[in-house]
Structure 1
Amino acid sequence: MNQAADSGGQRPVTAGERGRVTVTAPIETTGSATEVQPEAVLAGVDKGQIEGRSLGQIAWSRFKKDKVAVAGGVIVILLIVLALLSRPIQALFGLDPNTFNQDLIDPNTSIPQGDFGGMSWEHPLGVDPKFGRDIATRILEGSWVSLVVAFGATILSNTIGAVLGVVAGYYGGRVDSIISRLMDTFLAFPLLLFAIAISATLQGGAFGMEGLPLHICVLIFIIGFFNWPYLGRIVRGQTLALREREFVDASRGMGAKGPYILFRELLPNLVGPIIVYSTLLIPTNIIFEASLSFLGVGIQPPQASWGGMLKEAVTYYQVDPQFMIVPGLAIFVTVLAFNLLGDGLRDALDPRSR
């Protein structure tokens, strides 16, 4: 038998073995574990490196790359925390948004004493020229009112719009026609005029409520109940595409009924568009609530609200512009932060929109 020895002094290799060596990767005796064990490559050298990621993890990794959206999200979180803690903060520091400080108002000019609207260490954003109330405290007090109305109206409109939209898109036919015409009817309402009329009618008391709770509930109902068709159309369009997917056919094949498919199969796949639309709807509701309060049919004084503060500032904007700038900036920053967050979530949850 012919044999050949290699230059390294290893055992002789037969002709048959030489053929096998040419197709087999040599195993080195030095090096890392990755190099010395080819079978480890087949099993996965480091299982953590090849572990799959969920859709939420992928969306979060995309969202983190958008620094502008992250900044908007941080501002939104801070605003929510301040709104939730507004009353405890006022109690902790002994603040009262309705405390009159007439001694801070110049009796001759009827404007706050000092520069920039009476700004000082005690009143960092100045005082209002009408009663000398601290503007910073009133901004803090008005924050929770605006956010409660905006979030409440968004939840109401999204609940109605998501349910009716997915029903219309899934069943189609006459059901779709009825719900679609209902959407068109609601969209045809002159919402602002209708809201003014309803709010003015229910100012005294209704449904066993009065005062601030009544005003908040009325605003949530008006804004939320008449805005649901916007989300309803989005959900209906998405459902028309999803109902033809394989997982829906599989559910039907397994005997699943309509309600199960709607709420267990279709709606979970619509969470992304609903979240994105919510972040874009909240700032719209904040502006709407401020508009109604500015017109005098929203939150009523002495309760502080950003729109109400702008209404009071109209009389004094020439002699004390500070009184108008501060609540205007509060609305501007809040709306901008929610819009930036919404744009970032849209790109993260739907990469096709990039």
Structure 2
Amino acid sequence: MTAPIETTGAAAEAQPEAVLAGAKQSQIQGRSLGRIAWNRFKRDKVAVAGGIVVILLILMAVLAKPIESIFGLDPNEFHQDLIDPALLSPRGSWGGISLHHPLGVDPQFGRDVLTRIIEGSWVSLLVAGGATMLSVVIGVVFGVVAGFYGGWVDTIISRAMDTFLAFPLLLFAISISASLQDGAFGLTGLPLRIAVLIFVIGFFNWPYMARIVRAQTLSLREREFVEAARSLGARGPFILFRELLPNLVAPILVYATLLIPTNILFEAGLSFLGVGIAPPQASWGGMLTSAAGLYETDPMYMIVPGLAIFITVLAFNLLGDGLRDALDPRSK
């Protein structure tokens, strides 16, 4: 019978079992993928700032009508007494900025610019959000089907994507919007214009999302968890919606946040050309149209809606870049 081996000093401290036995259970905690992504995102101060601005913009758009009702604001209320008829510009300096009109008034009718910016926010975000949702739904469905099944299914969907990408979208949007101004599908006025913009922008932008989803699906369908599902008898629809789609959430979310500012710019461009949101409904692109010939007498009327578009697009782009870095498993 051998004597027990004595351990002293550094040798005793080096035993990992003793260290683990003495450690508290609360000190050893696992982190989910969502927690890891959130910690990465919080470290990116620029992306956090962009996310805060996006949240404020969404709140302003959602609460636009209640804010106008509570404070008695009317985006189409004329204040001709604030316009200098000789100079055709607001009285005072900096576009008529005052305590009652913090961003001034427009040089044509004296309407409050801040109220029109708030009113135009829900139009821009509604059109951009609806078009993005439509693009994401169509693009994800066709992209995941093309990437998973391959063969002739992939060929047909890929050629359809090439066809849609070849469309002159701007000219097509102008022609469709101009031809449906009077009424269609039981809609007239502002609801019709918003529905047409959402359909045109969203329906013809889905190939961009479909290409990204298809490329990710081609990579994921060869992974071990897909083979394991097949070996257990899972069929195509189950694998698509229960195995592949959860792993595609990150790229879909990132590209959707980057697609929204593109759609905001597209809607503003159509309104600027006169085939988007029609006056007297306030829109940021329409305000730029009104300011086009008045920038010499009242440059503030062009700067304010331009800054609104710039800040919104920049905030969404910063948020999208931050989400892309946070959700990338290869980032540190």
| Bin of the TM-score, shorter chain as denominator length | over 0.9
Aligned-partner Cα distance in 2 for 1:39–1:25: 14
Q: Is the 8 A contact 1:149 1:286 kept in 2?
A: yes
Q: Which residue of 2 aligns with 1:21?
A: 6
The root-mean-square deviation of aligned C-alpha atoms, in Å, is 1.9
2:78 touches 2:109 (CA, 8 Å); kept in 1?
Answer: yes
Correspondence for 1:80 among 51, 58, 69: 58
Q: Which has more radius of gyration?
A: 1
Q: Distance in 2 between matches of 1:54 and 1:229?
A: 32
- Structure 1 portions without partners, runs of 5+: 1-14, 28-34
Map of 1:4 onto structure 2? none
* Alpha-carbon displacement from aligned partner over 1:167-217 (angstroms, at most 9, x marks no partner): 000000000000000000000000000000000011111000011111111
**What is the CA–CA distance in structure 1 between the aligned matches of 2:329 and 2:30, rounded to whole Å?**
18
Matched, 1:110 2:95: no
Higher relative CO (Cα under 8 Å, sequence separation at least 6) belongs to 2
The CA distance in 2 between the partners of 1:38 and 1:187, in whole Å, is 60
Select which of 180, 196, 210 maps to 1:218.
Answer: 196
Q: Using structure 2 for the length normalisation, give the TM-score.
A: 0.96
Structure 1 match to 2:284: 306
> Does the residue aligned with 1:20 lie in a helix, a strand or coil?
coil
Q: Which amino acid in structure 1 is aligned with residue 289 of structure 2? A: K
1:128 counterpart = 2:106:
yes
> Residue type matched to 1:233 in 2?
R
State yes or no: 1:144 paired with 2:129: no
- Once residues 41 and 251 of structure 1 are traced to their aligned partners in structure 2, the CA distance between those partners, rounded to angstroms, is 40
Distance 1:201 1:125 in 2: 36
Q: Quote the sequence identity (%).
A: 73
Residues of 1 paired with 2:21 and 2:244: CA distance? 37
Tell me the residue number matched to 1:51. Answer: 29
Answer yes or no: is the 8 Å Cα contact 2:88–2:297 preserved in 1.
no
Alignment of 1:322-337 (within 5 A): 322-337=300-315
TM-score by length of 1: 0.90
Cα distance in structure 1, aligned partners of 2:174 and 2:331: 37
Alignment-mate amino acid for residue 96 of structure 2: G
Match of 1:153 in 2: 131
Shift of 1:41: 3.6
1:234 aligns with 2:212: yes
Shift of 1:107: 1.6
Q: 1:311 to 1:279 in 2, by over 3 A?
A: same
Q: Post-superposition shift, 1:48?
A: 2.8
Corresponding residue SS for 2:89? coil
**Which amino acid is 1:165 matched to?**
G
Q: Secondary structure at the match of 1:261?
A: helix
> What whole-Å deviation, never above 9, does each CA across 1:58-78 have from its counterpart, x for those lacking one?
100101111111110010011
> Is the counterpart of residue 255 in structure 1 residue 240 in structure 2?
no
Report the counterpart of residue 40 of structure 2 in structure 1.
62
1:124-149 CA distance string (max 9 Å, x none): 00000010000000000000000000
TM superposition shift of 1:52: 1.1
Number of aligned residues: 331
Deviation at 1:47, TM superposition (A): 2.5
SS of residue paired to 2:117: helix
Q: Name the SS for the 2:152 alignment partner.
A: helix
CA distance in 1, matches of 2:119, 2:7: 80
Matched, 1:182 2:167: no
User: CA shift at 1:50, angstroms?
Assistant: 1.9
In 2, Cα distance between equivalents of 1:279 and 1:293: 22
Q: Which residue of 1 aligns with 2:151?
A: 173
Instruction: Name the aligned partner's letter for residue 316 of structure 1.
Output: L
- Preserved contact between residue 317 and residue 324 of structure 1 (Cα < 8 Å): yes
